Amino acid sequence: MAIVLCIPIAALPPSLQDNVADIDRLKRALSETLGEVTLVAPWRLAGQVAKRFREAGFTGAALINQVEGRCELVDFLPALPALLPAMALDLGTTYLEASLVDLLTGRRLAQAHCPNGQIPFGDDVLTRIHAASRGSGLADLQKAAIASINVLCVRLAEQAGCPTQAIRAMSVSGNPTMVHLFLGLEPYHLCREPYIPLVNAPDTVCAVELGLDINPAAPVFVLPGVGSYFGGDLISGILASGLDQQEETSMLIDVGTNAEVVIGNREWLIACAGAAGPALEGGVARMGMRAGPGAIEHIAIDPASRAVEFQTIDQQPACGLCGSGIIDLVAGLYLAGIIDRRGKFRPGSDPNRLVAHGNGVSYVVVPADQAAAGRAVVLEQVDLDALMRSKAAMYAILSTLISQVGLAFTDLHRIYVAGAFGRHIAPRQAITLGMLPDLPLAVYRPIGNSSLTGAEMVLLDDQARSRCRQIMQNITYVELNVNQEFMLRFSGSKFIPHTNHNLFPSVPVFEW
């Protein structure tokens, strides 16, 4: 059942013999459909609902919010509506992605994204947490987030051809800091040992309380988190992958600013989040960018001719590299002998594209005259170094976690790859780099923006909402940053593909 129900009602009009009050009459009719549940008519809405029920001649459709432990009667329509739009939101630190789904059919009606209006307060969660502790910082950050979300509300409603007031519910999937700031809750302790959120599982809020530009009575369901570094976006990923429902053990990898990993099945779930160093979201490289128009998302280097072929999103002129583009590029550079196993440029290996300058050497991916706005897309040694640390951290996280549960990678049924890794991660290239384990490609399943998918699921299905609670209870969170084993594995992973070549039999090793 969806988070908001639309229930057809045909009640008898009142008479001297049946003088039950309007709201109680409507509740009586609803109890025939809803059965034995607690049904309340919130005071703020009761007068209006009664009026509409009367005006509609006691026949039409009642709207019911399903919130914790009870059903709330929030509106009455003269007839069943054609659509019942609800908004799913992936509330990212850098970007917001949202979609509108129809609660009646499950159909996706619209999609939109925009930057997080909190960016002027700081790029990452730590600077935002600090900003929140100064003066009116917390309120300002909340306002900035709500303003960005309201931009998306308007865009989604326009696309779907409905007023924003027709949006009857919202779900929000984000990391714990984003969730705290969205709700105006003090994030102070999130980044201070022992890293305690104010709340893991916020209860449903009413849209009007947060100033959201959707129907004031809309319930806002926030996906729960598990700890300061493991938020609702990850729970969304588990929902979207179905990890928590499968008999076989699988793994979920979500790479954003942090690398977050879950291993498990329907019996158990183990999770960890590692600060993977500079990671693969927009920002890893000077030319790094989010998967938007003009981002290079796939790139290939001919090992013989060293010719470069690439593909940008929406076929726009190239203006940067998204996560999948950077992985493709660095794997190609390695296979073409332009970088060595340590991820260092080999001067003279590609005279056409390697350019020496004061700081060292850079690789010209797209020359200025072929790139957007006449700005060449370039990869520098510092970008390569950052990627090497990220990929090493990633493999160290994955291998530490799999060893902690006493399994090998080959025991995994699937590896789901989610997050801002680019729209279409190519596992082959990530394996070449030694970032992901050397498993048959069929094991890998890219699941796109699973934070958004999970947010859509909780709107459409109360099973998904109860799965959230179940996941929260079943999951064991492992703190990797305090793990010695992790640091050893990290050092071993700082080569392409790895110091221990036996771990990556499918990757050729060149000794230049």
Residues that bind its own copies (CB under 8 A): 14-16, 19-24, 37-38, 40-44, 46-47, 50-51, 54, 68-70, 183-186, 189, 193-206, 209-210, 225, 227-228, 477, 479, 482
Structure tokens at 355: 């350019």
SS3 of 506, please? coil
CB of 442 to its own copies, least distance (A): 37
Nearest in space to 268 (alpha carbons), one of 473, 486, 11: 473
Residue whose CB is less far from its own copies, 10 or 442: 10
CB of 39 to its own copies, least distance (A): 8
Residue whose CB is less far from its own copies, 39 or 372: 39
CB of 205 to its own copies, least distance (A): 4
Report phi then psi at 263, rounded to 5: -120, 140
DSSP 8-state code for residue 345 = B
Residue whose CB is less far from its own copies, 233 or 380: 233
Secondary structure (DSSP) of 283-343 = TSSTTB--S-TTEEEEEEE-TTT--EEEEEGGGPPP-EE-HHHHHHHHHHHHHTTSB-TTS
SS3 of 100, please? strand
Residue whose CB is less far from its own copies, 4 or 435: 4
CB of 188 to its own copies, least distance (A): 10
Pairing outcome for strands 308-312 and 320-321? unpaired
Pairing outcome for strands 108-115 and 354-357? unpaired
**Inter-residue contact 170 to 157 (CB < 8 Å):** no
Residue whose CB is less far from its own copies, 273 or 426: 273
Q: What share of the chain is helix, strand, coil (3-state, %, to 5)?
A: 35, 25, 40
Report phi then psi at 350, rounded to 5: -145, 80
CB of 264 to its own copies, least distance (A): 19
C-alpha dihedral over 9, 12, 14, 19, to 10 degrees?
Answer: -90
CB of 259 to its own copies, least distance (A): 19
Edge-first strand order for the sheet with 377-380 is: 354-357, 360-366, 377-380
CB of 274 to its own copies, least distance (A): 15
Residue whose CB is less far from its own copies, 82 or 482: 482
**Inter-residue contact 125 to 192 (CB < 8 Å):** no
CB of 44 to its own copies, least distance (A): 7
DSSP 8-state code for residue 203 = P
Number of other residues whose CB lies within 10 A of the CB of residue 14: 14
Paired residues of 296 in beta bridges: 312, 321
Residue whose CB is less far from its own copies, 46 or 439: 46
Residue whose CB is less far from its own copies, 194 or 505: 194
Residue whose CB is less far from its own copies, 184 or 367: 184
Judged on CB neighbours under 10 Å (0-12, 13-18, 19+), 374 is exposed
d(CA 171, CA 220): 6
Residue whose CB is less far from its own copies, 16 or 82: 16
**Inter-residue contact 300 to 310 (CB < 8 Å):** yes
Edge-first strand order for the sheet with 170-174 is: 108-115, 95-102, 85-91, 170-174, 219-222, 205-206
Residue whose CB is less far from its own copies, 157 or 220: 220
Residue whose CB is less far from its own copies, 307 or 487: 487
Cα 504 to chain centroid distance, Å, stands at: 30
For residue 2, CA distances in Å to 43, 82, 443, 456, 463 come to 23, 16, 32, 10, 9
